Every structure is written in structure tokens, then in C-alpha cells.
């Protein structure tokens, strides 16, 4: 049973918003761009692996969780976790094409163009996650054996040199691998399993490093302001009475500002005043800002000139 289903990462959405609103000449542009595409690929990989987990059938009760952020000795984030009465399984998902070589400390890939890249070792990542999960289980009174595996989501990955002591799976090998895990004597009963499921859901804290300009040390003034056209991508729609107009593709969109409001809180600042709304959306006057803020799904605090608005995820 899926206890925490797949959901696209808000962090990836925020990276995309930041990336498209930065100048290509900005010293951190390439770093943000690379981080965005890497995390986006990770999201795509996790989605297809979760679809495989949705098809999983076992002769005993189990729960599957996507993207759990938990705290034991420190904060750690698990791509996919399976818990049963007999064991737990941690899956670290990778979506990296090319020829893959594992070393003691890194994972390296080589493309057809002979271009090479190095990544943090998923073996070391998994060892840390298993260690932290063991601490967590013991702290709450559970003693489950924990298995772990690195999962490559697509066959565009070719494993030239596998790690010495870690299970490597491709997506379609997940279900056979799980079926072969020994499940002879339960370590916990079904009531305890349900209790563990509820604990993990309640303990989960989504990774939300917003606003990203603060997280990455980027001057907010370097961010391109304006409302984006969802048709052609131009950032700079013009505000008309009761509407927005794109000067590039000539379309009108009454609610074009809604996406830009979300992006403000994701990348720019955690609160918004009337003046900040005028500035970021490039409005003509404070009355336009008042109408937009009044009709938005934002959290209002303060009165009069001290009124501030925030998004739920920025609280």
C-alpha cells in the first residue's frame, strides 16, 4: 500500500523559477541551472520507480513512502522507503545516463561524447540513511532489519564498474528483488506496523529552503521582475484593467499573476507588502496590488501599512 504517494518536488519548481529569472551572466547561474536539471532528472526517476512500487503485491502487509525527510542524529532524506513487519528497504533512485563507474568515494559517468562527470557516491549516501534510520527505529522502539539498494530508473545507464558491497537494481528488477527478501518471522505485529506508518508520516518534514535567494546567497535585486506569460514565457506582461496582456504573443490572461506570486515566495522573499507586490509584479499603482493581494490565497498578518502576506509553504 502506498502510504505517501509520489509528488513533484516544490524545490525543483523553485529552482526552475530561480533559473529562468537569473541573468546568464550571473556568477551563480550555471550552478543553479545544473542543480535544477539534476534535481528534475531525479524527480522523473523517482516518479517512474514509484509507479513500479504501486504495482507491487506481497503476501504480507507493507507500506511505501516517497520522499521522506526525517530526523535522527541529523536530518536525512530517503527517496523511497518500504516498511513491513519483517524488514525495511531503502531505495536510492538515480536517473543518470551514460557509462557508470563506482569508486570508493564517488560515482563517475562517461557520455558518448567522452565527456565525464563526477557525483557524490550513492553508496555512502545509503550507508548514512541506513545508519540514521536504525537510530530512529531504535529511538521509537522498533528493531527492524534494514536493506538498501541503488535503483537506476532507466536503461540509459550502463554500469561499467559496480560498487563492491551494494545492491544495484534497474527499475524492472525491483519487484523480483523484494520478493526474494526473507520474510519468515515478523519483528513487529500489524498494529505496530500501522503505528510505524503513522509515526513516519507525522515525523516527515519536507525540504523547503525558501526563499532560494536567501538559501543560495543571491541578491534578490538580481532577480528579473515581472509577470510571466504562460504561452510564450516572456517575463514582462502588461497590466490592463481586469486583465494581463503579453506584448510578444498578444494573448490576454486574467490570472497570469498567480504563478508569479508563487514564484515570489519560492525565490524572492518570505513575506510580501503592497509595495513589494507592486515592485515584483510591475503594477501601475497600489490599488492594483491591493485587489490582487485581497483575492489571493495568501495568509494575511498585520494591519494598514504593516500588513504583510505570506504563502502557506513559507510559514
pLDDT tens digit sequence for 175-187: 999 999 999 999 9
Predicted confidence pLDDT, tens digits, the chain (315 residues): 999 999 999 999 999 999 999 999 999 999 999 999 999 999 999 999 999 999 999 999 999 999 999 999 999 999 999 999 999 999 999 999 999 999 989 999 999 999 999 999 999 999 999 999 999 999 999 999 999 999 999 999 999 999 998 999 999 999 999 999 999 999 999 999 999 999 999 999 988 899 999 999 999 999 999 999 999 999 999 999 999 999 999 999 999 999 999 999 999 999 999 999 999 999 999 999 999 999 899 999 999 889 999 998 754
Looking at residue 314, the DSSP 8-state letter turns out to be G
Contacts of 287 (CB under 8 A, 6+ apart): none
CA–CA dist 97, 154 (Å, integer): 8
User: Whole-angstrom distance between the N-terminal and C-terminal Cα of the chain?
Assistant: 31
Q: Which pTM value belongs to this model?
A: 0.92
Contacts of 251 (CB under 8 A, 6+ apart): 229, 231, 245
Q: Is 255 left (phi over 0), alpha (psi -120 to 50) or beta?
A: alpha
Beta strands in 5-142 (DSSP E): 62-71, 75-84, 88-94, 98-102, 106-110, 116-120
**Residues 47-58: pLDDT tens digits?**
999 999 999 999
Amino acid at each position: 500500500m502506498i502510504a505517501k504517494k509520489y509528488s513533484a518536488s516544490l524545490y525543483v519548481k523553485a529552482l526552475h523559477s530561480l533559473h529562468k529569472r537569473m541573468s546568464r551572466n550571473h556568477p551563480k547561474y550555471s550552478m543553479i541551472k545544473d542543480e535544477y536539471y539534476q534535481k528534475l532528472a531525479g524527480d522523473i526517476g523517482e516518479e517512474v520507480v514509484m509507479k513500479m512500487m504501486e504495482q507491487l503485491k506481497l503476501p504480507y502487509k507493507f507500506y511505501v513512502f516517497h520522499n521522506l525527510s526525517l530526523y535522527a542524529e541529523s536530518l536525512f532524506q530517503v527517496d523511497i522507503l518500504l516498511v513491513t513487519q519483517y524488514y525495511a528497504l531503502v531505495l536510492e533512485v538515480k536517473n543518470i545516463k551514460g557509462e557508470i563507474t563506482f569508486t570508493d568515494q564517488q560515482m563517475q559517468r562517461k557520455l558518448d561524447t567522452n565527456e565525464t562527470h563526477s557525483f557524490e557516491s550513492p553508496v555512502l549516501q545509503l550507508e548514512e540513511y541506513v545508519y540514521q534510520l536504525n537510530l530512529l527505529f531504535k529511538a521509537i522502539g522498533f528493531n527492524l532489519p534494514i536493506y538498501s539498494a541503488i535503483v537506476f530508473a532507466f536503461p540509459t545507464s550502463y554500469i561499467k564498474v559496480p560498487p563492491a558491497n551494494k545492491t544495484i537494481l534497474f527499475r524492472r528488477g525491483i519487484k523480483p528483488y523484494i520478493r526474494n527478501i526473507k520474510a519468515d518471522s515478523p519483528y513487529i505485529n500489524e498494529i505496530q506496523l500501522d503505528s510505524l506508518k503513522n509515526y513516519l508520516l507525522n515525523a516527515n518534514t519536507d525540504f523547503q529552503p525558501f526563499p532560494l535567494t536567501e538559501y543560495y546567497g543571491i541578491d534578490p535585486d538580481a532577480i528579473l521582475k515581472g509577470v510571466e506569460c504562460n504561452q510564450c514565457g516572456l517575463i514582462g506582461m502588461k497590466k490592463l484593467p481586469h486583465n494581463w496582456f503579453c506584448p510578444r504573443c498578444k494573448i490576454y490572461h486574467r490570472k497570469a499573476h498567480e504563478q508569479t506570486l508563487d514564484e515570489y515566495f519560492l525565490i524572492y522573499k518570505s513575506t510580501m507588502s503592497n509595495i513589494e507586490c507592486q515592485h515584483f509584479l510591475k503594477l501601475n499603482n497600489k490599488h492594483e496590488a491591493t485587489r490582487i493581494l485581497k483575492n489571493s490565497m495568501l495568509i494575511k498578518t498585520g494591519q494598514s501599512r504593516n500588513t504583510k502576506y505570506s504563502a502557506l509553504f513559507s510559514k
